[in-house]
Amino acid sequence: LRPEGSLRAQLEERLPPALWQLLQDVSELAERMNCGVYVVGGFVRDLLLKVNNLDIDLVVEGDGIAFATALAVQLGGRVKTHEKFGTAVVVWGQQKIDVATARREFYQYPAALPQVEASNLRQDLYRRDFTINALAICLNQRRFGELIDFFCGQRDLEQGFIRVLYNLSFVEDPTRILRAIRFEQRYGFQIEPETLLFAREAIARQMIKELSYDRLFAELVLILSEANPAPALRRITELGIWQYLMPELVWTERVESELLAVPPLLAAMDTAGLGLPARPWMVYLLVLTRRLRRESIEAVGTRYPLRQRLRQAMQTLAEMGDAVDECLSQWLEAPSPSQLESLLSGWILEATIALLVGRPPAEAIAIVRAWQQVQAVRPLLNGQDLQTLGLRPGPEFARILQQLRKARLDGQVHDRDDEWALVKQWLAEQASKKKPGGTHV
């Protein structure tokens, strides 16, 4: 792990050429503007761990906003600035870089948002969460690639420790407790014993209660967005943190094994080429809440900033999951498109996946593939065709298209002629219904 002198060679070797070039551009600009510029945080940590990470965070000793503005001009991009915090984001094409002015933070009271004051690199790094995230690489020309490690972050990376920089770190910002768990489990590290003690103390002092639910939820989503969140969620259980995050949750072996089944299922679906645009964090959240009671799910839904569709999906899965799952087993014996539609229509993709976690991947894939085919079925006639019959777009129009689709799913119609005939038949039936004394169908 320990680099010999400069990290220049490692950077050049590992980075995609465009990113390497970008660091060169930053370096030249730093010279021209006569300020110290460093790449910091997760990028440096992951470079030393040989993990890909293309997220560049820069710290500027000097005027970060002026630097970001000049960089945006050089790259032909845009800059968004937050004067109050001395930070900016440079955006060009699909890429972005965060730029901060070297700063030191004060917390007016525990768990508050920080006050900021311009300062130097060491102090900027000291306000960070863990030693492994407080490493920097100098980008100025003569020192390009030099690793700056004030707090023995490199040693902790080698030994696999998550360590805070000062005792009150978790009290000042309790989100760091969740971040510590996330990094610990991601890299197979350990929260260093004294740091763990500080975390336990902050938990016992109920510091997590001081955080807003929006901030807590953002951290939870980050954990649920890890490649395999189950071990971190188990750690949350061990440390007694669910009582602040989701007191309704009952952690059982079943929940844990269902969570563990998600990554292989998603991977198998990917390998099978299903191309599902599923958001994994939602799948995990749905698996977590699947066995909760209605009132508990409502409580989770009101506490956190969840969209109505996700809340609804949580309720549907909890209430109907087992029944639908059983019907799907029967469906596998004798698959029929329209029955699949009646079972799964209205389910968001993530809820469908959460529903299927208990099955062998091959079965789950067969169901999802059949469901994709069902959803792709469209009637051959379209809105324009219907207009030639004098129909006007509106609810009636949509209903006819919907029914045509169902007829196709059930194999009632095969070509456009069949569909024309069916529409005309419906219209004739309707006309006779409207006529006084007409037959009612």
Q: Which spans of this chain sit near ligand ATP (rule: CB under 6 A)?
A: 41-42, 55, 57, 128-129, 133, 173, 175-176, 179
As measured in angstroms, the least distance from the Cβ of 215 to ligand ATP is 9
Contacts of 236 (CB under 8 A, 6+ apart): 178, 181, 223, 242, 245
Q: Where are the alpha helices (DSSP H) in 304-382?
A: 308-333, 337-344, 349-356, 361-376
Residue 128 · residue 41 · CB < 8 Å: yes
Minimum Å gap between C-beta 102 and ligand ATP is 13
Which residue, 163 or 179, has its beta carbon nearer to ligand ATP?
179
Nearer to ligand ATP, 178 or 249 (CB): 178
Closest to ligand ATP by CB, 57 or 298: 57
- The per-residue b/e assignment along 360-370, b for 16 or more CB within 10 angstroms, e otherwise, is ebeebbbbbeb
Nearer to ligand ATP, 134 or 413 (CB): 134
Q: How far is the CB of 52 from ligand ATP (least distance, A)?
A: 10
* Closest by Cα among 108, 136, 146 to 5: 146
Q: How far is the CB of 44 from ligand ATP (least distance, A)?
A: 8
- Is there a contact between 283 and 267 (Cβ–Cβ < 8 Å)? no
Residue with Cβ nearer ligand ATP (57 or 201): 57
- Residue 228, SS3? coil
Report, in Å, the least distance between residue 62 CB and ligand ATP. 20
- Shortest approach of ligand ATP to residue 133 CB, angstroms? 3
Q: Which is nearer to ligand ATP, 187 or 420 (CB)?
A: 187
Shortest distance, position 342 Cβ to ligand ATP, whole Å? 42
The smaller minimum CB distance to ligand ATP, of residues 128 and 405, is found at 128
Looking up tokens 């032909």 gives 76
Element (H, E) at 418: helix 416-434
Using alpha carbons, list the distances in angstroms from residue 93 to 23, 76, 78. 17, 9, 9
Neighbours of 433 (CB within 10 A): 11
Shortest Cβ distance from residue 49 to ligand ATP (Å)?
A: 11
Amino acid at 228: N
- Tell me if residue 97 falls in helix, strand or coil: strand
Q: Nearest residue by C-beta to ligand ATP? A: 42
The tokens describing 4, both together, are 């010999």
Instruction: Give Cα separations from 180 to 106, 187, 226 (angstroms).
Output: 21, 11, 13
